[in-house]
Amino acid sequence: MRIDVKGTIVSNDDKWIYELFEYDATCPNDVLRPIDQANGEPLEVYINSGGGDIFAGSEIYSALRSYKGEVNIHVVGFAASAASVIACAGKSDIAPTAMVMVHNVSGRAQGDYHVMDKSSDVLQTANKSIAAAYMAKTGMSEKEALAMMDQETWLTAQQAVDKGLIDKIAENQNLKLVAAYQTPLIPQSVIDKVRNIVKSPNPLEDQADLLLAKKSQAKAKINLMRKRGEILDD
């Protein structure tokens, strides 16, 4: 059975919002449902994702690791951040044009220095949790895994195989090279606005707000493309 892990890794609750904005996204339910249906037959997991929510990624990783049947993972474009963890959940291959990227967990915090200290502790603990997946796959030490993450390590297909993160380079695949690594992470403010509109007792009256939210997201995406040089101003 085929399972696609594409786009941003998101929670089950947020998946519908990404669909609303027509963004590729994968949530744990997208993987758990076919696993339940597979009934022990081999799983063919295709990854092209820049990562996203680490908890959603961890749930997907755990589900694949605990599956009683065969799990074959194919990195066909990009496996970064949370997606690189998922790539460690079974036997794997990688397209010659594909890449893997690992880095530290990130997050946002606001408050006094106690909050900042606590946030730092949480992030460092989360880093160790993610490192455990790399350690289990490669046999590297925690120190080596954390150092690789701390350096934001970008790996070609061959380097990913040399590191032990991927088992082998795939053969005879006609695949496209991924051109950009940032995932389209929808700002929490936009997610909250969409949720409030849906919960409104008069949702039709709030369509203008929904349109503004969508336009705001589109504008942010265009500005990001300009920064990357994908759009050139006259």
Same domain for 26 and 140?
yes
pLDDT tens digits, 25-52: 999 999 999 999 999 999 999 999 999 9
Identify the CATH number of the domain in which residue 38 sits: 3.90.226.10
Does the reported pTM lie above 0.95? no
Distance CA 162, CA 93 (A): 12
Same domain for 100 and 201?
no
Same domain for 217 and 125?
no
Residue 132 has pLDDT above 50, yes or no: yes
Share the mean pLDDT of the chain.
86
Q: Is 204 inside a domain boundary?
A: yes
Whole-angstrom CA distances from 10 to 125, 142, 156, 219, 231 are: 21, 26, 25, 22, 27
Q: Is 24 inside a domain boundary?
A: yes
Q: Is 181 inside a domain boundary?
A: no
Q: Is 37 inside a domain boundary?
A: yes
Same domain for 46 and 144?
yes
Same domain for 13 and 115?
yes
Lowest-confidence segment of 19-23, 63-67, 161-165, 220-224 by average pLDDT: 220-224
Helix, strand, or coil (residue 71):
strand
Q: Is 157 inside a domain boundary?
A: yes
Same domain for 104 and 214?
no
Q: Is 179 inside a domain boundary?
A: no
Same domain for 50 and 91?
yes
Distance CA 117, CA 39 (A): 46
Q: Provide the H-helix boundaries in the chain.
A: 15-20, 28-38, 54-66, 82-86, 113-138, 142-150, 157-163, 188-199, 207-228
Distance CA 67, CA 127 (A): 25
Domain end marker among 122, 141, 169? 169
Q: Is 234 inside a domain boundary?
A: no
Helix (H) or strand (E) holding 77: strand 71-80
Residue 60 has pLDDT above 90, yes or no: yes
Kindly tell me the burial class for residue 19, based on how many C-beta atoms sit within 10 Å of its own C-beta (0-12, 13-18, 19 or more): exposed
User: Residue 37 carries which side chain, given as an amino acid letter?
Assistant: Q
Distance CA 121, CA 126 (A): 9
Same domain for 110 and 147?
yes
Question: Which residues form the domain of 18?
Answer: 2-169
Contact between 99 and 123 under an 8 Å Cβ cutoff? The reply is: no
Contact between 83 and 57 under an 8 Å Cβ cutoff? The reply is: yes
Mind telling me the catalytic residues?
81, 103
